[in-house]
């Protein structure tokens, strides 16, 4: 299958899952995760109608952003970000999906401000499954564990003070190889957490729920995802990661 074909398959699946759950497919953003894939593959996906691309390495993002000049193309940074590599993300990202600590938000805010780049929309990454390899704020028992809740809320309140960062929602990842009911439960609990946060922080526009990858984006849409991050399903297998 060509990239045009795989993009069409993924779009059809998105439309079907949206219909199944009584939602409009227009409310769902497909982020094509192009990490480790060449610029030519990104161009092919762009020709097939993709406008949102996801990367998880700062310098790979920089290289690709500088090589490509396509109207309306938006870069999403979907991985853990080290402080000293924040510059390319501040410079090029339209959205950062993985705020996992205050300091990275503070750094990005300062860099956006310094270069007059406007506000950067961000999502807070939450670890709902408790899997140790997963990043993000530990929220396995957010509804009963006051310590987990306090840590997340403390950072939200500090991030709210940053001039060039705007919180827009949450991002999560399902545990590896989990059964469909378990995946569904992780996504459902993430949506419930965002509803609770919206009641606590009504001044924030909690519009985005980034969840679902190649193996589970259809379940994620049924559970309320507004952004799905699909890599292999569009570009084929990667050699690592
Ligand atoms: C790699 C990656 C994806 C895409 O994964 P696929 O299984 O290739 O769809 C999505 N989100 C994040 C955070 C990733 O690192």
Please indicate whether residue 76, judged by its CB atom, sits closer than 6 Å to ligand 1. no
80 lines ligand 1 (CB under 6 A): no
Concatenate the DSSP letters of all residues of 2-13 into one string: -HHHHHHHHHHH
Q: Can you tell me the mean pLDDT for 59-73? A: 98
- Angstrom distance (rounded) from CA 84 to CA 241: 22
Contact 100, 135 (CB under 8 A): yes
- The pLDDT of residue 241 is 61
Q: Give the whole-angstrom CA distance, residue 199 versus residue 188.
A: 17
Residue from 7, 78, 93 whose mutation best tests the ligand 1 pocket (most atoms within 8 A of CB): 78
Q: What's the CA-to-centroid distance between 80 and ligand 1, angstroms?
A: 12
How many angstroms is it from 203 CA to the middle of ligand 1? 30
Q: Is 172 exposed, middle or buried (0-12, 13-18, 19+ CB in 10 A)?
A: buried
Q: How far is the CA of 55 from the centre of ligand 1 (A)?
A: 9
pLDDT at 15 over 90: yes
Of all protein residues, whose CA lies closest to atom 11 belonging to ligand 1?
Answer: 229
Asked if the model's pLDDT at residue 212 lies above 90, the reply is: yes
Rg of the chain on CA atoms, in Å = 17
Q: Cα(198)–Cα(207) distance, rounded to whole angstroms?
A: 10
Ligand 1 atom nearest 98 alpha carbon: 13
Q: Which residue puts its alpha carbon closest to atom 7 of ligand 1?
A: 214
Give yes or no for residue 240 having a pLDDT over 80.
no
Spacing, Cα 49 to ligand 1 middle (Å): 20
Q: What is the mean pLDDT of residues 199-216?
A: 98
Residue 212 CB less than 6 A away from ligand 1: no
**What pTM was computed for the model?**
0.97
pLDDT tens for residues 114-169? 999 999 999 999 999 999 989 999 999 999 999 999 999 999 999 999 999 999 99
Angle of CA points 26, 89, 233, to nearest 5°? 45
Tens digit of each residue's pLDDT (9 = 90 or more) over 161-192: 999 999 999 999 999 999 999 999 999 999 99
Enumerate residues 6+ apart whose C-beta is below 8 A from 220: 174, 187, 211, 212, 228
């Amino acid at each position: 299958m060509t990239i045009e074909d795989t993009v069409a398959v993924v779009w059809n699946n998105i439309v079907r899952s949206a219909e199944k759950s009584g939602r409009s497919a227009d409310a769902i953003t497909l982020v094509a995760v192009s990490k480790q894939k060449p610029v030519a593959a990104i161009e092919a996906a762009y020709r097939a109608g993709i406008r949102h691309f996801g990367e998880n390495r700062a310098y790979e993002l920089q290289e690709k952003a500088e090589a490509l000049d396509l109207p309306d193309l938006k870069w999403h940074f979907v991985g853990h970000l080290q402080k000293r590599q924040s510059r390319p993300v501040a410079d090029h990202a339209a959205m950062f999906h993985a705020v996992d600590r205050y300091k990275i938000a503070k750094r990005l805010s300062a860099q956006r401000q310094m270069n007059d780049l406007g506000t950067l929309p961000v999502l807070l990454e939450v670890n709902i499954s408790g899997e140790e390899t997963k990043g993000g704020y530990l929220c396995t028992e957010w509804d009963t564990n006051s310590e987990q809740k306090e840590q997340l809320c403390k950072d939200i309140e500090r991030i709210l003070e940053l001039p060039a960062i705007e919180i827009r929602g949450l991002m999560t990842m399902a545990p590896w190889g989990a059964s469909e009911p378990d995946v569904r439960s992780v996504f459902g609990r993430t949506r419930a957490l965002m509803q609770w946060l919206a009641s606590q922080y009504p001044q924030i526009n909690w519009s985005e729920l980034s969840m679902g990858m190649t193996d589970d984006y259809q379940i994620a849409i049924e559970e309320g995802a507004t952004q799905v991050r699909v890599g292999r399903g569009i570009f084929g297998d990667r050699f690592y990661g």
